[in-house]
Amino acid sequence: MASKPKKQIIHEAAVRLFRDKGYSATSMRDLADAVNLKASSLYNHISSKEEVLKDICFDNAHRFLDGMKEVEAMQGTATEKVEALLRLHIRAATGDAASVMAFNDEWRHLSNPLLGEFMALRKDYESRFLAILNAGMQAGQFQKIEPIIALHTIFSSIRWLHDWFQPGKKLTAEEVEEHVVRMLRDGLAADNQ
Amino acid sequence: MASKPKKQIIHEAAVRLFRDKGYSATSMRDLADAVNLKASSLYNHISSKEEVLKDICFDNAHRFLDGMKEVEAMQGTATEKVEALLRLHIRAATGDAASVMAFNDEWRHLSNPLLGEFMALRKDYESRFLAILNAGMQAGQFQKIEPIIALHTIFSSIRWLHDWFQPGKKLTAEEVEEHVVRMLRDGLAADNQ
């Protein structure tokens, strides 16, 4: 088996440290210790902990934007599109918990211009999600809920899964996904659906 | 108008500081500055910042447990009981944002035995909420969703309101409450309700 590239090993260790200690409390020294390097050698691989944070945040942002692009291109009702987006969020949370956790909580530590770029991607994603919610409201597929409230409720309602879900426990990732989708999709649906 | 007791002023300033800087980064000196006291005088009113954190956490825990007691004593279906609990959570978030924020995020900084006592209250509340969800599932009032998933989804789905809601903006607290209740209550409801 080929060994992992050093950069990937450093990246994964950083995600675990950011999750366990928080970004601010994690030092380059901690990161060097976690991957058995001297701090001076670590700088041969990455220039700063912010570089790692940047990679986590932008990789995740692009993962969600790529998913959004696929959903927008789908033939289907707004209900089906929202369901597909719910599944995207839930699979990220159950499949790559540490990375999503760092992405949820730690992006505020980016400095400009990265912070501004990241926030623009985030804003773009939210606007496109809102547009789908609005379309569903106007088509009478959803009940009367302010789209911005539906959006925040959806985003927030999933923000425990990455912390709670453990593969091999009572419920599989697929079961968890079905139950959460059921609750949020049907909460949005108009009675006549 | 009678002036507020000094302890209440200190308490409110601490809640704002914990919210803005986080509990760990807040010093007794910050708190003294915020209420225009010398650090040495502050100790005449409170013994530590943990004392203030303890008050916030336990006041909130008892607020939710008192609400649970009322709901358990209600005549009504599980759907009505869950709706009443949803309203309790939403009103806390829109009515006392700073305090709820400190309660949501900062209780982990309590030290034992307070931490253990607080976690026992929290566990008690969750078990009683789960019992109501289980009763609703068994009575066929709710759709098939694992009660533990419904519980976490409900708790989590409200955990943006305290940060987002501002009185006097487009939506009133009552409107926000109706929309969030609609989405979560109806997401839980069986189709035949």
Q: What is the ipTM of this complex?
A: 0.85
- In this predicted structure, the answer to whether residue B193 has a pLDDT above a threshold of 50 is no
Structural element, H or E, at residue B127: helix B114-138
Cβ contacts below 8 Å, chain A against chain B, sum to 85
| Sign of CA pseudo-dihedral B19, B25, B28, B34 | negative
Greater model confidence, B137 or A20 = B137
Q: Which of B38-52, B61-75, B101-115 is predicted most confidently? A: B61-75
Structural element, H or E, at residue A86: helix A78-95
- In this predicted structure, the answer to whether residue B61 has a pLDDT above a threshold of 60 is yes
DSSP-derived 3-state class of residue A165: coil
**pTM score of the predicted model:** 0.87
| β-strand partners of A189 | A142
Provide the shortest C-alpha distance from residue A52 to chain B (in Å): 24
Contacts of A158 in chain B (CB under 8 A): 156
Q: Give the pair of three-digit tokens for residue A165.
A: 């879900």
Greater model confidence, A16 or B69 = B69
Mean pLDDT computed over every residue of chain B: 90
The count of other CB atoms within 10 Å of the CB of residue B180 is: 27
Interchain CB contact of B188 with A (< 8 Å): yes
Interface test with B, best of A82, A166, A186 (most B CBs within 10 A): A186
Read off the pLDDT of residues B91-100 as tens digits, 9 standing for 90 and up.
998 988 777 8
Contacts of B175 in chain A (CB under 8 A): 146
The segments of chain A whose pLDDT lies below 50 read: 192-193
Q: How many Å apart are CA B144 and CA B129, to the nearest integer?
A: 17
Provide the shortest C-alpha distance from residue A160 to chain B (in Å): 6
At residue B168, the pLDDT reads 85
| % of chain B beyond a pLDDT of 70 | 98
At residue A193, the pLDDT reads 46
At residue A27, the pLDDT reads 92
At residue A2, the pLDDT reads 60
Compare all CA atoms of chain B with the CA of A193 and give the residue at the minimum distance: B191
Domains and CATH numbers, chain B: 1-47 (1.10.10.60), 49-188 (1.10.357.10)
> What integer is the mean pLDDT of B105-116?
90
Could you say which residues from 152 to 181 on chain B have a Cβ atom under 8 Å away from some Cβ of chain A?
152-153, 155-161, 164, 171, 175-176, 179-180
Checking B123-127 for CB contacts under 8 A at 24+ apart, the result is: B124/B65, B125/B61, B125/B64, B125/B65, B125/B68, B126/B151
